[in-house]
Structure 1
Amino acid sequence: MYNNDITRSTILVADDHQDILDFLAEDLGEHYDVVKANNGQEVLNLIADHHVDLIVSDIMMPYIDGYELCTRLKENISYSHIPFIMLTAKNNLQSKIEGLKYGADAYVEKPFSPSYLQAQIDSLLRNRRHMRQHYSQSPIVPLNSIALNKSDRTFLEKLNRLILDNISEHSLCVDMLADNMNMSRPTLYRKIKALSDLSPNELINITRLKKAAELLLEGELKIYEISTMVGFNSSSHFTRNFQKQFGVSPKEYAE
């Protein structure tokens, strides 16, 4: 089952053999928007200007090979969330281990079945969508559950702590988060959107509601006290938000 989102995902494919690159682009182009690159350096140049949902890259390329490319991207907080599939003609176990050690999310041997590669792509993208939905819809699932690597987990844990430390502030906003995360506002927006499929303000709101759910289960505070503690102007506004997000009222959840 291929990606059937209303907005097509963008796949960046990299290979220094033009015929393979064209074949990949043509085949994947039926289901995704495709951006092409001939080497790792081109990927780094392109990714700064294109929103990319997933990368498919050969290992053996000039200038910057697939291993180094994967390492650079996974170590860069702006791009570490992007799933990375390695393509290689090497089919021994050690090569697979090397690929995964460099941070690749999947490893596909050449020659490969186009339908197998598409299934791998769709599986990675679909799993990420399910993780985001599960996080948004469940009162108890933590923010770091949507991270698939160490860099993103560290980023999300820092972001979550920052929101929780300022949760009672009505003025908590994207600019304040960006300043404290040492990121520009656009970079923070893109990162949060890519990881959670939420805007920063939506993420702040859900974090408030999840903290409220935790306090409701403890049963020591009244609903209006909790709504104030997590930064809502009124308990009625809090109740509407909680019901809309989790499908149950705060009172029902507490009971």
Structure 2
Amino acid sequence: MGYHIINSSQELPDLIISDIMMPVMDGNTLCKKIKEDKRTSHIPVILLSARHATESKLQGLELGADDYVTKPFNITILVLRIRKLIELSRYNKSKGVIDPSPSEIVITSLDEKLIEKAIKYVEDNISRSELSVEELSSELGMSRVHLYKKLLQITGKTPIEFIRVIRLKRAAQLLRESQLHVSEVAFEVGFNNPKYFSRYFKEEFGVLPSAYQEKKGK
């Protein structure tokens, strides 16, 4: 089994099962690549392993695996897990994901309440560059692994990406509505390095913050 670049014309699988012990690329590395690629991050991944150690399971889950099955396993149970993950994936896809924006989410579900609380905490600490995933997970009362899986499931973003996009969307608001310079906006939303701020801003909005301010600003 191998991993290759996915072209837009290729059909994506509903679910991926991978053994952890493989030549060339192990299952954990494969899982990491799948979950880091925006085109495939939504695909459920089941890792198979003969290892029963908690550390081994935790490593797979930290990398974004949706389930971890130890060998030998009951094929009937595995098939049931596969069906449940595919059903859950299709249900989430039919609902769509929540694109987090500062102070603009209407509460209609427990998931959205979680996102609102996460957004509020990031907003309240947005100027602190040291704001971490560990701090956010502690505030939300869940483990880092649980937060990773939950945010990825709801928003399609990892916790680091979630914090960053809130910073960037707040920056866009400031660029549109305030008279602050780009470097001042960068520090206001927690970027100590304006160059990194400009790079991430362009990745999110397609233009440099200076051009965005010139076009959108008052």
Q: TM-score, normalised by structure 2?
A: 0.57
CA distance in 2, matches of 1:174, 1:143: 22
Identify the residue that residue 105 of structure 2 maps to in structure 1. Answer: 144
1:54 to 83, 87, 94: 87
Letter of the 1:4 counterpart = E
8 Å CA contact 1:166, 1:172 repeated in 2:
yes
CA distance in 2, matches of 1:143, 1:195: 16
CA offsets, 1:11-70, max 9 Å, x none? 9xxxxxxxxxxxxxxxxxxxxxx9655xxxxxxxx69xx993534xxxxxxxxxxxxxxx
SS of the residue 2:105 aligns to: helix
- Asked if residue 176 in structure 1 is aligned to residue 135 in structure 2, the reply is yes
SS of the residue 1:236 aligns to: helix
The alignment yields a C-alpha RMSD, in angstroms, of 3.4
1:161 to 86, 106, 120: 120
- Asked if residue 223 in structure 1 is aligned to residue 191 in structure 2, the reply is no
CA offsets, 1:113-167, max 9 Å, x none? xxxxxxxxxxx62662xx56xx38xxx687737x8x5111111110000111111
8 Å CA contact 2:102, 2:119 repeated in 1:
no
SS of the residue 2:85 aligns to: coil
8 Å CA contact 1:174, 1:201 repeated in 2:
yes
CA distance in 1, matches of 2:85, 2:93: 12
How many positions carry a matched residue from both structures?
Answer: 147
Alignment of 1:1-255 (within 5 A): 4-5=11-12, 8=15, 9-10=43-44, 36-37=79-80, 52=85, 54-55=87-88, 125=93, 128=96, 131=97, 135=99, 144=105, 149-254=108-213, 255=215
8 Å CA contact 1:10, 1:51 repeated in 2:
no
Higher-Rg member (1/2): 1
Note the residue ranges of structure 1 that are not aligned, 5 or more in a row: 12-33, 38-45, 56-81, 85-123
Q: Which runs of 4+ in 1 moved over 4 A?
A: 34-37, 140-143
- Share of identical aligned residues, percent? 29
CA distance in 1, matches of 2:167, 2:13: 29
Residue 152 and residue 172 in structure 1: after superposition, are their counterparts in 2 closer, same or farther (change >3 A)? same
Residue 53 and residue 169 in structure 1: after superposition, are their counterparts in 2 closer, same or farther (change >3 A)? farther
Note the residue ranges of structure 2 that are not aligned, 5 or more in a row: 1-9, 16-42, 46-76
Identify the residue that residue 71 of structure 1 maps to in structure 2. Answer: none
Letter of the 1:5 counterpart = L
Letter of the 2:196 counterpart = H
